[in-house]
Amino acid sequence: MRTMPKRLQKGDTVGVISPSSPPNLENLKKALPFLEELGLKVKMGKSVEAKNGYLAGTDDERLADLHAMFEDPEVKGIICAGGGYGAARFADRIDYGLIKENPKVFWGYSDITFLHNAIGMYAELVTFHGPMLASDVGKPEFQERSGRMFGQLFEPFELHYDETISHLETLSGGVADGELVGGNLSLLRGTLGTKFEFDTVGKILLIEDTGEQPYQVDEMLNQLKQARKFEQVAGIVIGDFKNSVAKKPEESWTLAQVFDDYFKDIGVPVVKGFKIGHCEPNFSLPLGVKARLDADHKTLTILPGVE
């Protein structure tokens, strides 16, 4: 079992870092009052405003921010400003022993998937897949329901997802219990063949992505299938695939056809339609905790991520 970080309390300080691409600083500024409303103080990472092409500073600078926030006893949680690209570039140089000795809330998604997976593997820490400050919170379309999901950091409670939140569709029936893992499909595919290759044996796998055409989603799922990631998986949660439409629809499968091809009656529970990912609302959840996917009743139940 992974270590659960301690819950946040009003008055705590959270660190803000940019492990990937430079965030939109205007949106980031607009997001900070939200953290203040939660009763949190903010400590900015040194490279948050840095720009190095498509990276928020050098690999060394972004890595130093990550290490500094985990090491700083004043900082009780870490929230990523945004995603983009670049977190995987320094994953092999992270001091996982430092993180293991200083377990704390770590929150983000998209490109942060690589870090969720790496930290889960080598620091054995529960981390959180949820909306980021510049990418989500600071935008006008950020919904109150998405904001309420931060409540799970302050009080341990079970999360329940059913069709009152969004329309769900069962592709393969049954009930599965297992550790919830996964995140962004592109980033999960990027772990294959590395020491960070994600494990699905007995796990409930979450996948989501954005801007990928159906054939690209097909390509990634095919690679996961060839890597035998679906052979001993306990169940599959299909999150939001925003803007995943074909540029030439008359010459393409739909995304629904792709999912049907891989998962229809696969023999383990598979449900699609969860508002998890690059969407509003964005249902946040802990990774590395026990969950139950009931495909027959179309529900997902997740144990708390903090203690």
Catalytic residue selected from 21, 208, 244, 284:
208
Are 81 and 112 in contact by the 8 Å Cβ rule? The answer is no
**Comparing C-alpha atoms, which of 110, 81, 112 is closest to residue 279?**
110
**Comparing C-alpha atoms, which of 106, 84, 93, 42 is closest to residue 63?**
93
Could you tell me how many residues make up the chain? 307
Starting at the earlier edge strand, list the strands of the sheet with 127-129: 41-44, 13-17, 75-80, 105-108, 127-129, 285-287
**What is the C-alpha R_g of the chain?**
18
Lookup: tokens for 68: 């500094």
Q: How far is CA 218 from the centre of its chain?
A: 21
Widest pairwise Cα distance in the chain: 57
Q: Report the alpha-carbon distance of residue 123 to residue 95 in Å, rounded.
A: 9
Spatial CB neighbours of 219, under 8 Å, sequence gap ≥ 6: none
Catalytic residue selected from 20, 186, 212, 278:
278
Are 212 and 220 in contact by the 8 Å Cβ rule? The answer is yes
Are 130 and 285 in contact by the 8 Å Cβ rule? The answer is yes
Q: Tell me if residue 110 is catalytic.
A: yes
Residue 9: how many other CB atoms lie within 10 Å = 11
End-to-end CA distance of the chain: 13
Q: Quick check: helix, strand or coil at residue 62?
A: helix
Lookup: tokens for 217: 């989603």
Catalytic residue selected from 18, 21, 47, 110:
110
Residues carrying an active site annotation: 110, 208, 278
